[in-house]
Homo-oligomer: A and B are copies of this chain.
Amino acid sequence: MNTIATTGEGAEKAAQLLIVPTALIQLTLEEARVVVNYMTPRFIAADTTFIREGDTGDGGFMVLVLEGEVVVESITVSRTEPLTIKVLGPGSLIGEVGLMDKEPRSASCTASTPLYCAILSRAALEKLLADNPQVGAKLLMAISTLLAQRLRDNARKLRLYANLATVMQKEIDSFTRPQ
């Protein structure tokens, strides 16, 4: 397999970006170098959609952005136009939810510039866990922490929306109550 380690300069950059605050800061540089050995380098041309909302056939993988930018978009049931959720740059991890649960992708990811990235497939993660369970477990701890933090952020937003809905309902009630 053409792993990122075989590309020389790319490997060290990938290892360094894997431990910046936007990615998996809990790994040491040494551990990140081990993980990078299981990643595959990939160049993606601008305007290419490399993860498609609803896709189930990709077997699960996550992407570490090395250079360039990615637009994350979602088309939901009641919309016909995609909604841009976020724009991600170097050091960002993409697709870690799909890597873990292998369910259909919940958003589309498109390179908005030429994109250099490193990919960790589900199969490579499983090989890392078999070859080096210590580093594999450390990577999983870091991914779990990232998922937990995102879950916490989303839960906070959901509570805000729920509060807003309650306040609005009260307001509506106060107007429509029989005089």
Contacts and interface: CB of A to CB of B under 8 A. Distances in A.
A97 B148 contact: yes
Interface in A135-179: 136-137, 140-141, 143-145, 147-152, 154-163, 165, 167
Given A76-B160, A134-B133, A151 B147 contact: yes
Contacts of A83: 159, 162
A158 B154 contact: yes
Majority SS of interface residues in chain A? helix
Contacts of A148: 96-98, 100-101, 103, 147
Nearest to A162: B83
A58 to B, nearest CB: 15
Contact of A101 (B77, B103, B149, B163): B149
A19 interface: no
Q: How many copies does the complex hold?
A: 2
Interface in A92-119: 96-98, 100-101, 103, 106
A129 interface: yes
A78 interface: yes
A148 B96 CA distance: 8
A148 to B, nearest CB: 4
Given A144-B143, A158-B157, A159-B74, A103 B152 contact: yes
Given A76-B160, A77-B163, A101-B152, 4 more contacts: A100-B145, A154-B154, A161-B161, A161-B165
A-B residue pairs, 7 tightest by C-beta: A133-B133, A140-B140, A100-B148, A147-B147, A101-B148, A161-B161, A154-B154
